[in-house]
Amino acid sequence: MKYSFLFLCSSLFSVPGLFAQDTLPKFSVRNVGNNRYIVSWVNNFETIKQISIQRSFDSLHNYKTILTVPDPTTRQNGFVDTKAPNDHMFYRLYILLEKGVYLFSDARRPVFDSLRKTVYTNKTDRLGGIDSVTAPNFGINNKNGVNVFTPSMHVYTYSDGFVRIHLPPDEDKKYSIKFYEDDGSFLFELKDIRTRKFKIDKTNFYHAGWFRFELFENGKLIEKHKFYLQKDF
């Protein structure tokens, strides 16, 4: 089997059932720890031309665009902001519709994600991953009874349908990843990964749907999780 690797340049991801929330122009901002803030939304607009994420020190002025989404039509999407100066910045969305009509969302500050912690394993997980043995459905129910899925920060899908790999930058560590069908059937393994940011061609997975993976660091299992490939090929 041949693999197509390209460098990863952003932290966008798209996974069905990503977060439970209201639709645009409403959105959510979650503090998941380690200076990572997930800005996410659900898009129900029939025609949308642009979505830009903006950040400011206050709720009214001096907003700067930190990202313009490559594909604004994706129904569920988000961005991991790892460069915020502090944990109480304000975020808003600029939304451009057809015929030049545009709007700004209300400003929001990050809310600490207590849900993510409840599905950690008992062992220390410095990568913040979810163990499929502890949480086999990779989801939990919030107080409203809505199933919540939190994607891996290291193996996840992008709006173009490719699988993105984003490993820690430590060059002294050796990483490998095993991929499986959702039923546990083994697919293939990437051994002795040298590149820390790249993507895998979606055709290597043959079909759309859920897939599982295991991430190893120096031969030790450090994360078990899953991702979803949309049916667009």
Mean pLDDT by 10 residues, the chain (233 residues): 36 41 84 88 90 94 90 84 92 93 94 52 33 33 46 78 86 93 93 90 86 94 88 59
Number of CB atoms found within 10 A of residue 187's CB: 15
Q: Are residues 104 and 135 in the same domain?
A: no
User: What's the CATH code of the domain at 204?
Assistant: 2.60.40
Q: Are residues 79 and 107 in the same domain?
A: yes
Q: Are residues 101 and 165 in the same domain?
A: no
Q: Are residues 108 and 157 in the same domain?
A: no
pTM of the model: 0.47
pLDDT given for residue 149 in this prediction = 60
Distance CA 81, CA 98 (A): 28
Q: Are residues 66 and 164 in the same domain?
A: no
Last residue of a domain, one of 63, 85, 112: 112
Q: Are residues 104 and 136 in the same domain?
A: no
Q: Are residues 213 and 130 in the same domain?
A: yes
Q: Are residues 52 and 98 in the same domain?
A: yes
Q: What is the domain count for the chain?
A: 2
The alpha-helical segments, DSSP class H, found in the chain are 114-117
User: What's the CATH code of the domain at 26?
Assistant: 2.60.40.10
Q: Are residues 108 and 134 in the same domain?
A: no
Distance CA 154, CA 35 (A): 15
Whole domain around residue 25: which residue ranges?
Answer: 21-112
What residue type is assigned to position 227 of the chain? Answer: F
Q: Are residues 63 and 85 in the same domain?
A: yes
Q: Are residues 104 and 83 in the same domain?
A: yes
